[in-house]
Amino acid sequence: MQAKNYTPAASLSTTAPIQPRVLAYWIAASVVVYFLANELLSWTFLSLVGYFSIFPWASNKLVNNFIQSENKAVVENRRRLTLFLLDSLNTAAVITFMNFPLVSSMLIAALMISRALYLQGAKGFLLLVPAAGLGFAIQQFIDIQTKITKGQDLVFISLLVFTLFSAFLAFVMRDKEKKYQEIQMNAQQQRQRYSKLASNLSKYLPPQVWESIFAGKRNVKLESQRKKLTVFFSDIKGFTDLAEELEPEALTGLLNTYLNDMSRIAMKYGGTIDKFVGDSIMIFFGDPKTKGARKDALAAVSMAIEMQKHMQVLRKQWIGEGIENPLRIRIGINTGFCTVGNFGAEFRMDYTALGRDVNLASRLESSAEPDQILVSHETWSLVKDVVLCQSKDEIQVKGFSRPVPVYRVIDLRRNMGLQKSYLEYDAKGFSLSLDTDDINVFERKKILQKLEEATQKLLKDDVATTANPEV
């Protein structure tokens, strides 16, 4: 069902047959007729009847022709102020020319002041300055002998008119209030509807991108830029084989649980979730928000470590559900300059990152073993002070002509504690990287032998240096 369209001008217009401003001039014309009929005014004022009857429409048309602007709100505001200035000048002239009694003048002045306050608040008093000046000038410089007799009649009529006009204004304002409440209710319903739609649509975009679009910081058009990103890829080893064993419903539940938990971890570290491709996940750090290359890389690696640890929790859950071969993930991370932005067509865009360094992150993920996190040299150089990594030498990566140095992430250094199984030390001419958990008995003996040989060599060189300091 199509929603109703409301515009302020149409919705707030009164259902009264005439406008308050027109009614006020008609009342003024009627009062003049009454005074003429009862010989309270001279017939020289007969022209006022025609003037009061025509002026509301004539002035309104004239002002509309002179005030032009593309902004409808500006036009309406200027039109109302201009008409009020003309009305106040008319009021001041009539009161002064006809020598109204004090009570009648005060009642009319009260109406004008109320309207001025309604238009511009406290500043509305400034709108009455020209009218006050006109009235003062007429009184001081123009000698008109006309004076209404039987002032008590005028006071009574003024009170009656004031009461009727106030009642009419109350009716008009009540009608506008009802219309305004209808608009508010409709606007609230529309806000709730659009809020629900926005919430649903936001699930198809990364939260960071959605927020930047709504904040007006990002244009929804085909554009891209070069940025230094840390790109993350992961997939589940053996997922294809598992898909052949499980029923579609069970497989869907398993995959959704996995992707949901991994996404929560990604959002915790501020990662931009690019896409899900089956069991694969692509996440990058550095756009649309960045904390700097070093912090972005550290956030990506920390996220990967927490994901690997969370897999232990999921594996226990899946084993309890009867899955015989617990799933294991492999992860690849690389840092470098990428092209990031909106790609695709005008009617269907995809926010993603492209480039050689994105491909390298994907290749590292493919080269990793289950439960393993591989990072490039660029990423390792940014996080090595906080994250303990083991060099894996160089590997040949598809699409790259030269071998690529890679490192296996062990854990955050602060998590290693006193029971750490991994030792490392680097100095000029010496490098030690030792993981006791991965060394078998045969390799252990060979390592001890090599360490013994290195110790003897260092001791021998130390003795020679002590005996002959000039060497």
Work out the angle between the directed axes of helices 151-202 and 20-37 (0-180°, nearest 10): 170
Q: What is the pLDDT of residues 315-340, one digit of tens each?
A: 888 888 777 777 889 999 999 999 99
Work out the pLDDT band at 427, boundaries 50, 70, 90. low
Q: What is the pLDDT of residues 153-174, one digit of tens each?
A: 666 666 666 666 666 666 666 7
pLDDT of residue 7: 41
pLDDT of residue 449: 82
pLDDT of residue 366: 92
Mean pLDDT, all residues of the chain: 79
Q: Per-residue pLDDT for 149 more than 70? A: no
Segment among 15-19, 42-46, 340-344, 370-374 with least mean pLDDT: 15-19
- Assigned token pair, 377: 């040299």
Domain boundaries, the chain: 8-191, 228-420, 424-466
Q: What is the mean pLDDT of residues 293-303?
A: 96
Q: What is the pLDDT of residues 90-122, one digit of tens each?
A: 888 877 776 666 666 676 777 777 777 766 777
Give the 3-state secondary structure of residue 423: strand
pLDDT of residue 101: 64
Greater pLDDT, 161 or 375:
375
pLDDT of residue 469: 58
Answer yes or no: pTM beyond 0.95. Answer: no
Work out the pLDDT band at 280, boundaries 50, 70, 90. very high
Q: Per-residue pLDDT for 434 more than 50? A: yes
Tally of CB atoms within 10 A around 95: 19
pLDDT of residue 171: 64
pLDDT of residue 15: 45
DSSP string, 348-394: EEEEEEESHHHHHHHHHHHHSPTT-EEEEHHHHHHHTTTEEEEEEEE
Q: How far apart (Å, rounded) are the C-alpha atoms in residues 471 and 459?
A: 15
What is the CATH topology of the domain spanning 228-420? Alpha-Beta Plaits (3.30.70)
Q: What is the pLDDT of residues 240-262, one digit of tens each?
A: 888 888 888 888 888 999 999 99
Nearest residue to 134 (alpha-carbon basis) of 104, 112, 157, 101: 112
Q: What is the pLDDT of residues 25-77, one digit of tens each?
A: 887 788 778 777 877 777 777 888 888 888 888 888 888 888 877 678 788 88
